[in-house]
Amino acid sequence: MYFINKALEYIFLPSCGVCGKLGEGYLCIECGKRLEKYVINKRNKLLLDFESSAPKSFFNSDLQNCNKIKSEAIYKFHIFKYEDLIRTLIIQYKFNDKSYLYKTFCEFIVKNKKSFDFIKSYDIIVPVPIHQKRMKQRGYNQSELIAKDLAKIAQIKCYTNILIKTKNNEPQSTLSGKLRKENTKNVYKLINEEKINNKKVLLFDDIYTTGSTALACLHELNKANVKQVGILTLAKD
Ligand SMILES: [Zn+2]
């Protein structure tokens, strides 16, 4: 399905991913205004802003082993609130084959100075990986499509060969907070760490709920000698 959509893109003019309107790029003015209502666009320091006690303890214990991180701060940045229209669009994007929506999300993100400046302050963007099996079912990694496009426009690098998912665990959305942390343990693995040494690395994920996935990935990224790490997510649940 992904390749069919890609092919269609070349044949037809871009249309608004939300309403289908032609001639105003991948997001029309009207729908852009509708999405504005859900914007958070806030940059938070990670350690000072922890909603769930589970990831905090997990992260603190990690930090002891990760003294080499000398970054002044670890920031996380959420674009949207995960509700109503945003929720519908993300579900369609992930589960209903509407892979082309990545263009719409990107168009919105890069037009927003605050989020775009945040992205440009990093050297590399790394999307949260999905398992090979899931990749085969869906045909694409939803975070990767967005991350690649963002990197291209921001003129930074996007590496998809830094983190791999070694276990096809239960989808986080089916689990409660406590189980989410357990479910992400030893699931992600750092490879090619030399590619991110001394670099500012931004992790990208679609939805941030308890933070378990993001923290499990940061834990792996921290094993390299990174200069700074940050988190960017499309939506915050
Ligand atoms: Zn529209």
d(CA 99, ligand 1 centre) in Å = 16
Q: Output the six-digit token pair for 43.
A: 């940059």
Cα of 44 vs its chain's centroid, Å: 16
* Mean pLDDT, the chain cut into blocks of 10 residues (237 residues total): 66 88 94 95 57 39 43 80 97 92 96 94 97 92 97 98 91 82 87 95 94 89 90 95
- Domain 40-81+114-236 indexed as CATH 1.10.3470: no
d(CA 23, ligand 1 centre) in Å = 10
d(CA 16, ligand 1 centre) in Å = 5
Per-residue confidence (pLDDT) for residue 200, from 0 to 100: 95
d(CA 236, ligand 1 centre) in Å = 23
Q: What are phi and psi of 233, to 5 degrees?
A: -130, 150
d(CA 138, ligand 1 centre) in Å = 25
For the question of whether the overall pTM of this predicted structure is more than 0.75, the answer is yes
Question: Which ranges of 121-228 would DSSP assign to H, the alpha helix?
Answer: 132-138, 142-154, 177-183, 212-221
d(CA 107, ligand 1 centre) in Å = 12
Domain coordinates in residue numbering, the chain: 40-81+114-236
Q: For residues 82 and 237, give the distance between their C-alpha atoms in angstroms, rounded to a whole number.
A: 5
d(CA 85, ligand 1 centre) in Å = 12
d(CA 73, ligand 1 centre) in Å = 37
d(CA 22, ligand 1 centre) in Å = 8
Per-residue confidence (pLDDT) for residue 8, from 0 to 100: 63
d(CA 35, ligand 1 centre) in Å = 10
